[in-house]
Structure 1
Amino acid sequence: MTSCDPGALTASTTRLAPAEVPALLRLLPRQDPLSWVRRGEGMVAWGVAAVCRTDGPARFADAAKWWSELVARADVHDEVDEPGTGLLAFGSFAFAEQPGDSVLVVPRVVVGRRGEHAWVTTIDTQESGPQEAPDLAVTEPAAAPADVVFTDGAVDGESWMSVVAEGVARIRSGALEKVVLARDLVATATAPIDVRHPLSRLAASYPMCWTFHVDRLFGATPEMLVRRERGLVTSRVLAGTIRRTGDDEHDLALAAALARSSKDLEEHEYAVRSVADALEPHCSSMNVPESPFVLHLPNVMHLATDVAGVARDETSALDLAAALHPSAAVGGTPTESAVALIAEIEGMDRGRYAGPVGWMDASGDGEWGIALRSGELVGDGSTVRLFAGCGVVGSSDPAAELAESQAKLIPVRDSLAAD
């Protein structure tokens, strides 16, 4: 673990009138932006008051320990007292134990809006001292990336179908029930990319998703791994996908077919079961719906189930995320066998793709999504790795899984285009 020691932090949250707060993403500066926004609500932040990087099997526990120690030393003045106010950290965690680099970032300024509440939080270090009230004026729109070229990532499409076929063979042999296999695509521009451009495009095109950016990883995820809010725990499970055609009547028929698909229902059942089993030790009661609903997004439709529970103890949102990761939706079933197979045959380093991404506050409340429909800026920032994955079961067809992965790459791919 590596971290800075800022000493005792001072966090001050002031209430704002919602009308005082412009569109959140328009407030972000180019330097050190952070975001967690859905349907115009959520939080944006910038600056770095403290940072912690962890890796390995203890990456969640090390981050949680660092955070609890930071919270214990902090001086917090919070006149709003809502989830997400006061001292706050944004985080993004590696999918695998190795290799991997996970991060928690405590920003200098946070601006939030949620329902009738809006606020600004400033976080000061002993070294920096108090900062001036932040300017909430909108910034100039970010320029689109220049001359973007797309190339194959670690594995090309034809080779990836062979990887899927190997996964199907292992499943049919009885080695496991499901494995989620991912691939990447590389986008290269002629100059460093201003991440605010793809963020704004993703938020506009996918308002029902959580548009995030933490430490160069950005995206719009439809999947809430876990939310903890004043003792209530919720988790949205997505597994089973079909591509939309743009024809409403045809898409309704496809949605009905998805809801009856034995392959997709089987995949979804595995994912729901893994989430319920992971949450059960931490909850005094749970509600697990018997059947999924179809979630309609602009480019795809998913089978979805919302699992809910009441927290049994003071377990934090990060502790719950650690207990849930990796779920069957991003790993497979049984988890240990699936993750081992991913490491053996997938052929790429996922990094923080498909790991938990989100935020938590000093009370333990927070929201952790799964870093799907995402891209990661690498090198000097002119290159982005785009990611997509598919759940593979015994009846999976490699060509169909390749087509599904291509559909899932569309959101981030399109976000890099000019307006």
Structure 2
Amino acid sequence: MIQTEIKKLDEALSEAITIAKNKQTPQLFSITEMIDDIDPFLFFEQAKHIEGDRVFWASTSENFFLVGAGEAFDIRATTDRFEQTEAQFKLMLQDALIFNSYRVPGTGPIAIGGFSFDPKKEKTILWEKFHDSQFRVPAYLLTIEDGATYLTINTMVRAEDHQRQLEYSIDQHKNILLDSNATLPDGPVITNKTELDPLGWKELVGQATSHIKEEKVDKIVLAREMRVHFEKKATLSPILSKLINTQTNSYVFSFENDDDCFLGATPERLVRVENQQLLSTCLAGTAPRGNNELEDTQIGLELINDVKNREEHEFVVKMIRDAVTACCWDVDVPKEPVLYPLKHLQHLYTPVKAKLKKEYSIIDVVKRLHPTPALGGLPKDKSLLYIREYEKLDRGWYGAPIGWMDAYKNGEFAVAIRSALIQGTEASLFSGCGVVKESDPEAEYQETNIKFTPMLSVLGG
């Protein structure tokens, strides 16, 4: 990685073309500038006019946004997907020419994307456009961090490229993306929704409880699907805007592949690394919010003292503590969980803090953490095998790590729950819950109904 101080675009492009000619290989060129404030949703909406797909990431509690347009580089891996993803990203950065004097987390050539839940699960047509590991380096990246706004331009420069043509193309794209007169379209309206085999799913929950008792499995997480139909093709930017406005303490994400888009608002951080400081989240145990303050407090107290939910939460805490300890120093885990309130739900929450050892990366941590007991179960191998064999749903990217990493070893990944796969005039919504030996199929079914609410509320349902 060749890191240089800020230069004008023409000077930087000239240097990149010269290097590409000397090496006779394509050269990743990246330049970051600070720009005036711009609405991230308008940027995302305008990005549909740029060739290539879009990405979106936001932390609602921190006012942090990443919005990507087009694609400068694509990373895909099938075997050893965690290792190969990181290896390809490092190789890309090795010879990259980067002009970024700010070095703010999330600026420069970041890779944003995700993994499938289980690469060994039989694939269906539902997720045919998504790969088991896929990350994208956006051609144009908007970053909003700590009240400042940055634009990063990433492109592969080749020996035969002409500087003036590249400058003209970049200038045209910037005019489109930064158009302050653009407006957001209306959001979708659901006309019909169908639960896929709810009776069969309840039977599976009952079957799983018997399996847990017989096979000494502690927990199996089962998920199901709801299919919805819209009046017309769904537009994505107003959905993302509504998610930001309604789903506090969440990570809002979107990854587009052709006409399909996986998006959602998840409260579950998997891991964040910034300047080697690591933060992971144990989020397991769920209850609805109350209709008033008194009822809300009562429900929260019941959740804190509920044996099943506390047991489920402790499974997650132990697993994350063990995984983080393997590659970190100074691991700090509180003894008791607290309540984590969202608009429609509240969860038990325990933060895990540590310092990442220099020989490890955020991808190393992601590999150790996925899937957490909150999305797979315990023991990991037995629960995954059961899900693979008996769950009818093709989870695709649902319940799997989704996030970003930059050239400076910063990054953040969340668990892709409270989500939907948008496909034109239709969408699939996903919801799951942890099954233990005391689980009641009807109660678990009702819990999944509650977890559909965040997505239904922003899709016009």
Settle same-fold status: TM greater than 0.5.
yes
Question: What SS is found at the alignment partner of 1:134?
Answer: helix
1:187 is aligned to: 228
* Mapped pair 1:208 → 2:249: yes
User: How many angstroms does 1:207 deviate by?
Assistant: 2.9
* Mapped pair 1:410 → 2:426: no
The CA distance in 2 between the partners of 1:288 and 1:302, in whole Å, is 17
Q: Which amino acid aligns with 1:417?
A: G
Question: What SS is found at the alignment partner of 1:278?
Answer: helix
2:11 is aligned to: none
Describe the shift of the 1:234–1:185 C-alpha distance in structure 2 as closer, same or farther (beyond 3 A).
same
2:438 is aligned to: 395
Where does 1:153-232 land on structure 2 (aligned, <5 Å)? 153=196, 156-215=197-256, 216-232=261-277
CA RMSD of aligned residues (A): 1.8
Describe the shift of the 1:70–1:301 C-alpha distance in structure 2 as closer, same or farther (beyond 3 A).
same
Q: Which amino acid aligns with 2:88?
A: W
The CA distance in 1 between the partners of 2:95 and 2:191, in whole Å, is 46
Question: What SS is found at the alignment partner of 1:12?
Answer: strand
Q: How many residues align?
A: 405
Describe the shift of the 1:207–1:24 C-alpha distance in structure 2 as closer, same or farther (beyond 3 A).
farther
Q: Are the counterparts in 1 of residues 332 and 353 from structure 2 also a CA contact under 8 Å?
A: yes
Q: Are the counterparts in 1 of residues 74 and 136 from structure 2 also a CA contact under 8 Å?
A: yes
Specify which of 317, 320, 329 is matched with residue 275 of structure 1. Answer: 320
Aligned-pair identity in percent equals: 29
Specify which of 93, 115, 134 is matched with residue 174 of structure 2. Answer: 134
Describe the shift of the 1:301–1:292 C-alpha distance in structure 2 as closer, same or farther (beyond 3 A).
same
User: How many angstroms does 1:48 deviate by?
Assistant: 1.1
Specify which of 67, 70, 91 is matched with residue 92 of structure 2. Answer: 70
Specify which of 136, 143, 151 is matched with residue 194 of structure 2. Answer: 151
TM-score by length of 1: 0.92
The CA distance in 1 between the partners of 2:57 and 2:187, in whole Å, is 21
Q: Which amino acid aligns with 1:387?
A: F
Q: Are the counterparts in 1 of residues 32 and 152 from structure 2 also a CA contact under 8 Å?
A: yes
Describe the shift of the 1:320–1:190 C-alpha distance in structure 2 as closer, same or farther (beyond 3 A).
same
The CA distance in 2 between the partners of 1:255 and 1:24, in whole Å, is 35
Question: What SS is found at the alignment partner of 1:124?
Answer: strand
Q: Are the counterparts in 2 of residues 102 and 352 from structure 1 also a CA contact under 8 Å?
A: no
The CA distance in 1 between the partners of 2:460 and 2:133, in whole Å, is 29
Q: Which amino acid aligns with 1:53?
A: R
Is the helix fraction higher in 1 or 2? 2
The CA distance in 2 between the partners of 1:55 and 1:183, in whole Å, is 26
Q: Are the counterparts in 1 of residues 108 and 406 from structure 2 also a CA contact under 8 Å?
A: yes
* Mapped pair 1:366 → 2:385: no
Divergent runs of 4+, >4 A: none
User: How many angstroms does 1:190 deviate by?
Assistant: 4.4
Q: Deviations over 1:219-270 (max 9, x none)?
A: 0010110001111111111100001232221011000110001100000000
**Unpaired runs of at least 5, structure 1:** 1-5
1:121 is aligned to: 152
**Unpaired runs of at least 5, structure 2:** 1-24, 124-130
Q: Deviations over 1:1-48 (max 9, x none)?
A: xxxxx93211111124xxx31332232125222111123322112111
Question: What SS is found at the alignment partner of 2:134?
Answer: strand
1:41 is aligned to: 64
2:76 is aligned to: 53
The CA distance in 2 between the partners of 1:232 and 1:377, in whole Å, is 35
Q: Deviations over 1:321-349 (max 9, x none)?
A: 12211111111111001111111221111
Question: What SS is found at the alignment partner of 2:422?
Answer: strand
The CA distance in 2 between the partners of 1:385 and 1:258, in whole Å, is 29
Q: Which has the larger radius of gyration?
A: 2
The CA distance in 1 between the partners of 2:185 and 2:222, in whole Å, is 34
